[in-house]
Amino acid sequence: MFPEQLNVPLGKWVNQFVDWLVINYGTAFEAFADSLLTILVALEQLLRGAPWWLILIAIAAITWHASKNWKLVAGLVIAMFAIGTLGLWDKAMQTLALMIVATSLSVVIGVPVGIAMAMSNRLRAIMLPVLDTMQTMPSFVYLIPALMLFGLGKVPAILATVIYAAPPVIRLTDLGIRLVDPEVLEASRSFGASRKQILFGVQLPLALPNIMAGINQTTMMSISMVVIASMIGARGLGEQVLMGIQRLDVGAGMEAGIAIVLLAVVFDRIGQAYGKRSQRTSSAEDGQ
């Protein structure tokens, strides 16, 4: 038996810290939550309000823009159509809105953090264990403080999703920038390029294929969070799975599961097509 005198009251400290946050910064968190919620609700209304065929056309247009491949366009449109035939169109649009907001937030936070990590070895040494923690810590653990700070609903769901899904885009931005050929960097320095000119003119364009791969992974991970997010009140496909569990309705759970997979496939293929396109810019005229 481990001696009780050596117990560290970490749990108590964390509780005190969260209480302190709620008491002192409660209003700030609320304001942040409100603005996030406004964006999410607007997007959700747009997606749910738009006619289903318009969404299909938009998916087709995006896929065509990314891949210039008719077969892929047809395949992804059929996949989206299949979600509709399962009777889950409206819930899929709710999930889609949640996913878009969570992914955008992850990218907006993740890319600059990745850039900073690539610039500073010290920051990288600090961030790597933090990222590991973000990815391995069971999501329920940080759902508790998120609930305390933001209440039940969509906002804590988004934040939990961002914590889980942001690490890939951070890691791959860092990696992509670090993989840029040092001689190319030396060349641009030797021509007197400033740090800003090097970052935007050389490092980011050359890291783009890796950053795109990171965004793709982040998207996939945020889709995979929808079931957990539904437990704290986010609506959508995850809610349907949760209902299937609660009512032991295997069929309903299966339908929702298939819809989640289809949604994931659609956005994975689109993300990959953009990733390939960013790699191709170095020999764009090959035309494939």
What residue ranges bind other proteins (CB under 8 A)? 181, 183-184, 186-194, 197, 202, 205-206, 281-285
Q: What is the C-alpha separation between 201 and 192, in angstroms, rounded?
A: 13
Least Å distance between CB 280 and other proteins? 10
Q: What is the C-alpha separation between 25 and 44, in angstroms, rounded?
A: 28
Q: Which is nearer to other proteins, 209 or 271 (CB)?
A: 209
Q: Which is nearer to other proteins, 100 or 208 (CB)?
A: 208
Least Å distance between CB 276 and other proteins? 15
Q: Centre a 10 Å sphere on the Cβ of residue 29 and count the other Cβ atoms it contains.
A: 17
Least Å distance between CB 200 and other proteins? 12
Instruction: Please list, residue by residue across 58-89, b when 16 or more beta carbons sit within 10 angstroms of its beta carbon and e when fewer do.
Output: ebbebbeebbeeeebbeebbebbeebbebebb
Kindly give the interhelix angle for 139-150 and 154-178, rounded to the nearest 10 degrees: 120
Least Å distance between CB 211 and other proteins? 13
Q: Which is nearer to other proteins, 90 or 181 (CB)?
A: 181
Q: Which is nearer to other proteins, 4 or 285 (CB)?
A: 285
Q: What is the C-alpha separation between 72 and 76, in angstroms, rounded?
A: 6
Q: Which is nearer to other proteins, 19 or 181 (CB)?
A: 181
Least Å distance between CB 201 and other proteins? 8
Q: Which is nearer to other proteins, 56 or 198 (CB)?
A: 198
Least Å distance between CB 170 and other proteins? 23
Q: What is the C-alpha separation between 145 and 140, in angstroms, rounded?
A: 10
Torsion of CA 36, 212, 83, 154, to 10 degrees: -20
Q: What is the C-alpha separation between 16 and 182, in angstroms, rounded?
A: 48
